[in-house]
Amino acid sequence: MMSVVGAQPFIKPMQTSPSVSPGIQRRHTLPASEVRPLNTQDAISVFEIEREAFISVSGECPLHLDEVRHFLTLCPELSMGWFEEGRLVAFIIGSLWDQDRLTTDALTLHKPCGSTVHIHVLAVHRTFRQQGKGPILMWRYLQYLRCLPNVRRAVLMCEDFLIPFYRKSGFKVLGRCAITVANLTFTEMWYPISGHAYMRRNSEAIRFPQHPLTLPLTKTDEQVDV
């Protein structure tokens, strides 16, 4: 579970431990699992996972490399990456939108005054699929959005075969999307964020924009299946 961060970052007290011989020291200090916002240095890893996940299925990527960098520069706080021992294994990239329905402009624009988060892409590395990581990351992302005071809903567009997947995360069908890419058509789906004032005050989701801290994942998270 994510934890609330107040005005000051939480600092874990230093613990004294007996000296350990070099032969049995840990090989590295990277956490086994962590969730954090993405940055432009993650862009190539993001695009490699995205390209493998989407090109083989639909022949099109939701975001090209320059667009990944574009959104990670403008609104990194609306992204979320899951890392295993420092390696990106799953991610979400979003931006703000200011209209009721998605239009072609939503594919490339970030509207800072908007109250809708447009989720551009959710992808999982092929080695880590069928482990429940997609639904877990989406759940964490939606919990995080509840901590953003101006966000009222999340929207996405997907091919029809993905509708059941997103329905399991609580998304509802809005209707056919006005956007087409090549010969692909999409369904627009939405998730309500408004009406969660209590959760905004009491949620344990980290406030990434103020404190980009990493978060360990629990064993319970790992047990959820896709």
Give catalytic residue positions: 95, 109, 120, 122, 166
112 closest CA partner among 91, 139, 137, 94: 94
What 8-state DSSP symbol labels residue 11?
Answer: -
Concatenating the DSSP letter of every residue in 98-146 gives -SSS--GGGGT---TT-SEEEEEEEEE-GGGTTSSHHHHHHHHHHHHHT
Cβ neighbours, 10 Å, residue 112: 10
**CA atoms within 13 A of residue 204's CA, in its CB half-sphere:** 5
Residues sharing a CB contact under 8 Å with residue 150, sequence separation 6 or more, in sequence order: 115
Residue pair 97/114 in contact (Cβ under 8 Å)? The answer is yes
User: Which amino acid type is present at position 155?
Assistant: V
Residue pair 207/9 in contact (Cβ under 8 Å)? The answer is no
Strand partners, 111: none
Place of tokens 């790992």: 222
